[in-house]
Homo-oligomer: A and B are copies of this chain.
Amino acid sequence: MVMGRPRSFCTDKALDEAMEVFWRHGYDGATLAMLTKAMGIKPPSLYAAFGSKEGLLKAALDRYAERRSEHMRYVLAGATARDVAERFLSSIAESHTDPANPPGCLLVQGGLACGAGSENIPFELAARRAQGEAELRERFVRAREEGDLPEGSNPAALARFLSTVASGMGVLASSGADREALREVALVSLGAFPACGAAADGPG
């Protein structure tokens, strides 16, 4: 075993608490006092473990990404592109209104605009959002090759559309919209999605 005094807290548990604080108050709005209180540790322990407030956010984002990757694996396993879109939107509607978490999405709530000294935080969050979009895009490229998306369709645009709706649903959820409202948005959004082999029934 390693030498020295053992750590008195569980890193993952502490990260979960920190994640919730960042989620609810944003990066700038989350103060060291809030974070240390939620994590049950003192500032020196926080800095020894994560280096800085920004380092703590990145660690929390990594943990958030782990959670999301499970969802994405399920989403991307959809049989058709339309199936993938439906899974994506409905899972977003559920997760963004999960009472176990703050409403919305950490990657949106975390901070679209920050004050002096945290200008790079919005970029960090944007990069993580872009990753999910890229996964969808690759899946849709494959779908077009496999013929379940029309030849003329635009996989990049469809992925960006879904990612945009997801961000918008994050904004909606953060302002108190309930789960049913998000499901409705998901349903309407799905109407924008092309159907190939199946009957291309119009929206409504």
Contacts and interface: CB of A to CB of B under 8 A. Distances in A.
18 contacts: A26-B112, A29-B115, A29-B116, A34-B116, A110-B113, A112-B112, A130-B175, A152-B204, A154-B184, A154-B188, A157-B185, A160-B172, A164-B185, A165-B168, A188-B192, A192-B203, A193-B203, A202-B202
Nearest to A26: B113
A141 to B, nearest CB: 16
The 4 residue pairs across chains A and B that have the minimum distance between CB atoms:
A168-B168, A29-B115, A126-B175, A192-B192
B112 A174 contact: yes
| Copies of chain A in the complex | 2
Contacts of A80: none
Interface in A138-172: 150, 152-154, 157-158, 160-161, 163-172
B126 A176 contact: yes
A106 to B, nearest CB: 10
A112 B104 contact: yes
Interface in A20-71: 23-26, 28-31, 34
Interface of A: 23-26, 28-31, 34, 104, 108-116, 118, 122-123, 125-126, 129-130, 150, 152-154, 157-158, 160-161, 163-172, 174-176, 181, 184-185, 187-195, 200, 202-204
Contacts of A108: 112, 171
Nearest to A123: B175
Given A164-B168, A165-B164, A150 B113 contact: no
Contacts of A181: 160
Nearest to A161: B188
